[in-house]
A and B are shown apart, each in its own frame.
Chain A
Amino acid sequence: MNKTWVTPGGIHPPENKQQSLTLPIGELPVPEKLVVPLSQHIGVPATPCVAVGEQVLKGQKIAVPSGPLSAAVHAPTSGAVWAIEERPIAHSSGMSAPCIEIVSDGRDQWIDRQGIADFQHTSPTALLDMIAQSGIAGMGGAGFPTAVKLDPGFRRPVDTLIVNATECEPYITADDAIIRERTEEIIQGIHILSHILGNPDNIIIGIEDNKPESIAELEQQTEDTGINLVSFPTKYPSGGEKQLIYILTGKELPSGQIPADIGMVCVNIGTAYAIKRAVIDGEPLISRVTTVTGEACGINRNYQVLIGTPVSHLLQHNQFDQQRSSRVIMGGPMMGFSLTSDQVPIVKTTNCILAPSHSEIPAEQPAQPCIRCGMCAEACPASLLPQQLLWYSQAKDYERLEAHNLFDCIECGACSYVCPSNIPLVQYYRNSKGEITKAKREKVKSDQARERFEFHKQRIELAEQEKEAKRAARRQAAQQAKASSAGSGSAVDIIAAAKARASEKKADPQQQRAKLERSVASAEMRLQVAQEKLDSAVANSESEEKINALKAAVTATQQKFEQAQARLAEQLQ
């Protein structure tokens, strides 16, 4: 029996998981249109590598990672690229983001899949590259690009691999379902992970004790494999990375650090399955298991859903009753968010579509004043002080919020769940986190602006100094000239002196000749232009005044030309 530790706080909401586990994982017909967002992961959105109208096959790469923190995107079915535009996506803001819309051709034809059967003798770098090119991101909900997470780089070597099979949020049973039905493949995925990480000493699958069937399956499959299966008492939110690490190892992840900093890597069990499909079967991430549940849906079941499937498609096939439903939530009841439109697509991180009835999840009660009961602090799994965070958030005291470790809040919602005054605590924290991040960004910009301003001032000063220096030099030269011109300071003398200097400079004959030749040439050209103007004016029968003016101009230019020629002749003599 492995020892487990107990996290502080936590709540025990009704699980409501049995409804969606009565049937095995189902398949849905391929929808007509699939909308694949370019950003389904933490980091920079992927860059499209197909054009509108292009035919694509199932599993073909349609967008490449843009930089180190990004993930590839693949076509979920065969068809044609209809559009690459902004489309509404599942985001709490309700805003749109760039997506690739694909119209399916009904054939669902795969690309030529190339897997690596013998991964044990393949280098971890090659495997990581394959995972990156397969577009795998964390499927537990965060969506961090897996290839980046598994590459510890310069940090200390990994000694513990934790596979997260907790699925602590009520209603969601996606991970439970794949464990029951695809256990062997999951174990293979874990072996691949272990190989990539250099065979860490401890490999632990963490699972809650409310999944007895899955535990039985896993126990059977992990016998003699070196993988530890550890089950622990159910509590929300044990599935959070920091919480799970503490439960399984007793180690606390310091604030601001990631598990790799303490030699651990935590991966969702669904991601482990996706890694197996990518490496061994050569299938990029184009579908995932999503739970469709809630009383407003006639059928509650897990489905293997293609990425990009509109939520309406799912609801349609599950006898969704608009009248009964209070809202449609993407995610679970604690950390999910309500959808404003049912046209938004399923993405790599969608683990559940919850359509509760009015009685199941009633409308939000209005918030009442905080009575300082302290139940929120009792429930917080991160040992924070939600009450203080609330007061400081309302007072917009960002300094104090950071001092109370606001950024360590995992937004699990346990505090709002227990609050007797129905205060939406997590919304306050999210708002404050946003304001603080914005202020930090602005500070960086203002520091930059200050630097540029300082440089601007310096530059102007330097320019002024140079001008001053030149002026001073000129003044000095003038004074010297005055002193050296034999006591007389009259204007005529000065001009004569200047002329003398100028004529001295003209001494060089070759330079002189070149200069005169140039002036002759330019005078000639000017004469030509003036003549042309006169001719065209005459041809166009312009006014007599104009013609006379142009004639005068021609005459003047002619004179200058002759003068220049004369000077040149003089010089040549």
Chain B
Amino acid sequence: MQEVAIILISSVLINNYVLVQFLGLCPFMGVSKKLESAIGMSAATTFVLTLTAMASYAVDRLVLLPLELEYLRTISFIVVIAAVVQFTKMFIEKTSPLLYRVLGVFLPLITTNCAVLGVALQNASRDLNFAQASLYGFGAGAGFSLVLIFFSAMRERLAAADIPQPFEGAAIAMITAGLMSLAFMGFGGLV
């Protein structure tokens, strides 16, 4: 139980993939204008991250390590990620066409989301069992969701507020993200 808590706190807060490790910034900036699309995107990414962590762990332990093909990790993980993302895309297209249209190009871009590949590679380089690897994947997704939702809520308020013209749009978003990152780095040393 304590182990589960440590893994989760570590991947959600202390080593937050977006604000502390600076991975996955593309969807973080691109899909955070509206709260609804942010929630949709974070659900999709968490889904992808968890499945990918499990699938890539399986591929790593069952195919790559026995055949001593560790150098193929990057390629095979990308194959796994691409397949899982494509599956997610089809699933979302069927269940929520509006979300599909809103996410637009960012849905296939989860494939190139460095956070997803990052989680897979980090899990592979550590000595974990299947449950721990999945939990890291899920925690990464939860951390991504947390900051994405916070950020989009703030951006929505900023959209209605009176911003000085030079700062409108992407500029104030970047500044906000920077301040959030500063805050999350304060979690260092928690555990």
Contact = CB atoms under 8 A, between A and B. Distances in A.
Interface of A: 369, 391-392, 394-395, 397, 400
Interface string B150-166: 00000011011110000
| 9 A-B pairs with the lowest CB-CB distances in the bound complex, closest first | A395-B160, A391-B160, A392-B160, A397-B160, A391-B161, A369-B162, A395-B159, A394-B160, A391-B157
A369 B160 CA distance: 14
B179 to A, nearest CB: 17
Interface of B: 156-157, 159-162
Nearest to B156: A400
B167 to A, nearest CB: 16
11 contacts: A369-B162, A391-B157, A391-B160, A391-B161, A392-B160, A394-B160, A395-B159, A395-B160, A397-B160, A400-B156, A400-B160
B28 to A, nearest CB: 23
Contacts of A395: 159-160
B34 to A, nearest CB: 10
A392 B157 CA distance: 9
Name the residue in B159, B160, B161, B162 with the highest tally of chain A Cβ atoms < 10 Å from its Cβ: B160
Contacts of B160: 391-392, 394-395, 397, 400
A392 B159 CA distance: 9
A328 to B, nearest CB: 36
A391 B161 CA distance: 6
Nearest to A390: B160
Contacts of B162: 369
A398 B91 CA distance: 32
Contacts of B156: 400
A395 B160 CA distance: 5
A369 B162 CA distance: 9
Contacts of B161: 391
B57 to A, nearest CB: 42
A392 B162 CA distance: 11
Given A394-B160, A397-B160, A400-B156, 8 more contacts: A369-B162, A391-B157, A391-B160, A391-B161, A392-B160, A395-B159, A395-B160, A400-B160
A391 B158 CA distance: 10
A18 to B, nearest CB: 44
Contacts of A400: 156, 160
Contacts of A392: 160
B36 to A, nearest CB: 10
Contacts of B159: 395
Nearest to A370: B162
A395 B157 CA distance: 10
A400 B36 CA distance: 12
Contacts of A391: 157, 160-161
Contacts of A394: 160
Contacts of A369: 162
A194 B182 CA distance: 65
A111 B159 CA distance: 64
A395 B156 CA distance: 11
Nearest to A391: B160
A380 B157 CA distance: 21
Nearest to A393: B160
A26 B76 CA distance: 94
Contacts of A397: 160
A369 B159 CA distance: 16
Contacts of B157: 391
A528 to B, nearest CB: 77
A397 B159 CA distance: 10
B161 to A, nearest CB: 6
A391 B156 CA distance: 11
A394 B160 CA distance: 8
A359 to B, nearest CB: 34
A369 B161 CA distance: 11
A432 to B, nearest CB: 13
